[in-house]
Amino acid sequence: MRLSLEQVSAGYGGGVVVHRIDLSVPAGTVHAVVGHNGAGKTTLLHTIAGLIPPATGRILLDGTDLTGQPAHRRTRAGIGYVPQGRRVFASLTVAEHLAIAQRHTTGTSTAARWTRDRVLNLLPHLATRLRHRGAHLSGGEQQMLAIARALLTQPALLLLDEPTEGLAPAISEQISRTITALAGDGLAVLLATPQPNLARTVADQTSVLTAGRVTAHLDAATIRADPDGLRAALTPGTHGSTPAAGTAAAATLDQRPGRAAVWIDTLPAPSAASTATTGTTATGGPS
């Protein structure tokens, strides 16, 4: 199984946010798309999942063209999606989330590669929370639930949007280990993150997304040999979907609830010039 993107562009209302993206994610590997907030990561994942129609290009899963297919068909074809913010239901228990996901599974319960037992074996902490409602789960537990729910749709490719956003370092490490285990089990994983450290830890291949364009591509060996190279490739001050709007978009995005913490935790401190331009208040150094 291999995901291939050929010259994929997409956006909103006629405006283009991601531009002519070429990517290939083979089975058993993790590909990270690293970019600042507003670079277009979610837009790219939404386009692959079928939630946004591409303006140009093709999306292929093992050679099968899914470009014109609706989201539910892509799920059946093997694309599992773990959204940013987890999107669990506040009033449903963990067990109810899993039951709903299983109802939509593509295989029978005996033929399914990912059964409820197998998922809980991978994420044993969830087994201790089966009766807890979504609203009473920690961020890490919600993330595990979102991954479990996606696995029960029997994916060959897993899309993970900012899987460690807002999580404590120990929980992020647990999620990282889960991602590595899933690739080890043969899944193709495409994850989006603003955190160079996550890409460095789990990714076989990393693409840097800057203002909607892939501006660098690094493999794991290159990143290991030069641990600062990836951070340097993430140019401070080019956050937005268009170069002209970049600095303004960054300032706007930073003011959204919850975003300041993400900014401070995950991005290199902007240079004095860009701090002055955007008015950002980041005081923390690189994570």
d(CA 190, CA 178): 14
| Contact status: 240 vs ligand ATP (CB under 6 A) | yes
Give the CA dihedral 235, 25, 140, 223, nearest 10 degrees: -40
Of 155 and 212, the one with the shorter C-beta distance to ligand ATP is: 212
| Contact status: 144 vs ligand ATP (CB under 6 A) | no
d(CA 273, CA 278): 9
The string of DSSP codes covering 121-156 is HHSHHHHTTTT-BGGGS-HHHHHHHHHHHHHTT--S
Q: Find the shortest distance in angstroms from Cβ 170 to ligand ATP.
A: 23
Q: Find the shortest distance in angstroms from Cβ 76 to ligand ATP.
A: 25
d(CA 20, CA 40): 12
Q: Find the shortest distance in angstroms from Cβ 223 to ligand ATP.
A: 20
Q: Find the shortest distance in angstroms from Cβ 168 to ligand ATP.
A: 19
| Contact status: 253 vs ligand ATP (CB under 6 A) | yes
Helix (H, G, I), strand (E, B) or coil at 200: helix
| Contact status: 83 vs ligand ATP (CB under 6 A) | no
| Contact status: 35 vs ligand ATP (CB under 6 A) | yes
| Contact status: 41 vs ligand ATP (CB under 6 A) | yes
Q: Is the dihedral of CA 178, 181, 187, 191 positive or negative?
A: positive
| Contact status: 40 vs ligand ATP (CB under 6 A) | yes
Bridge partners, residue 216, by sequence:
208
Q: Which residue has the tokens 């009766």?
A: 131
Q: Residues 6 to 25: which contact ligand ATP by CB under 6 A?
A: 12, 17
Bridge partners, residue 8, by sequence:
21
Q: Find the shortest distance in angstroms from Cβ 90 to ligand ATP.
A: 21
Among 23, 119, 233, 249, binds ligand ATP (CB under 6 A): 249
Helix (H, G, I), strand (E, B) or coil at 116: helix
Tokens of 259: 């975003």
Of 123 and 158, the one with the shorter C-beta distance to ligand ATP is: 158
| Contact status: 34 vs ligand ATP (CB under 6 A) | no
Among 143, 172, 178, 241, binds ligand ATP (CB under 6 A): 241
User: Which residues are at the interface with ligand ATP (CB under 6 A)?
Assistant: 12, 17, 35, 37-43, 84, 240-241, 249, 253
